[in-house]
């Protein structure tokens, strides 16, 4: 019986520590914390949000399996081309190898694919920007939501 209570106490401590690690959603006007992430189709494999702090950025939360998301990709490329100071990043929790497969399957028919940049394997941004549907767009100017 004593070991049962010890195990129960240990499980409670583990749950408590997990609850403290959860990321709080950000509100409009909040600064974006410096967050590491993994790029795909960008000049470097990894980065931090501090690298983008002085930029005007749109994060597009999407998945390759989302048809409305995919249909909007050429429009996002056009927007990025029309405004040189704007950077669009497609953010997904999809693993890198699945994004590579998606791009390799469509690259010949869609030249804009090479101009769009990804943040893949996302586990943090989706918590900062609370949303229920995709595509979802987040606008960030000089590090502020």
Q: Report yes or no on 16 lying in a domain.
A: no
Residues contacting residue 57 through CB under 8 Å, at least 6 positions apart: 86, 87, 88, 89, 139, 140, 141
SS (H, E, C) 68-104: HHHHHHHHHHHHHHHCCCEEEEEECCCCHHHHHHHHH
Write out the two tokens for 99: 């994004």
Write down the pLDDT at residue 20: 42
Q: What is the pLDDT along the chain (145 residues), one digit of tens a residue?
A: 666 444 544 444 455 444 444 568 889 999 989 889 898 888 888 888 888 888 899 999 999 899 999 999 999 999 999 998 899 999 999 998 998 888 888 766 787 788 888 899 988 888 888 888 899 999 999 989 9
Would you say residue 20 lies in a domain?
no
* Domain assignment of residue 136, yes or no: yes
Q: What does pTM read for this prediction? A: 0.78
State the CATH number of the domain containing residue 62: 3.40.30.10
Can you give the pLDDT at residue 23?
A: 67
Q: What is the pLDDT of residue 6?
A: 46
In a domain, 51, yes or no: yes
Give a yes or no: residue 120 inside a domain: yes
Q: What is the count of structural domains for the chain?
A: 1
Within a domain: 94: yes
The answer to whether residue 9 is domain-embedded is no
What is the extent of the structural domain holding 132?
A: 25-141
């Amino acid at each position: 019986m004593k070991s049962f209570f010890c195990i129960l106490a240990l499980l409670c401590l583990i749950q408590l520590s997990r609850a403290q690690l959860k990321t709080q959603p950000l509100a409009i006007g909040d600064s974006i914390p410096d967050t590491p992430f993994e790029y795909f189709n960008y000049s470097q494999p990894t980065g931090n949000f501090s690298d983008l702090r002085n930029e005007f950025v749109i994060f597009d939360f999407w998945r390759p399996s989302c048809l409305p998301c995919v249909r909007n990709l050429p429009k996002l490329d056009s927007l990025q081309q029309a405004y040189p100071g704007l950077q669009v990043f497609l953010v997904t929790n999809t693993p890198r190898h699945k994004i590579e497969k998606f791009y390799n399957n469509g690259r010949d028919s869609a030249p804009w694919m090479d101009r769009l940049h990804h943040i893949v394997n996302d586990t943090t941004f989706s918590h900062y920007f609370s949303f229920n549907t995709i595509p979802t767009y987040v606008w960030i100017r000089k590090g502020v939501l």
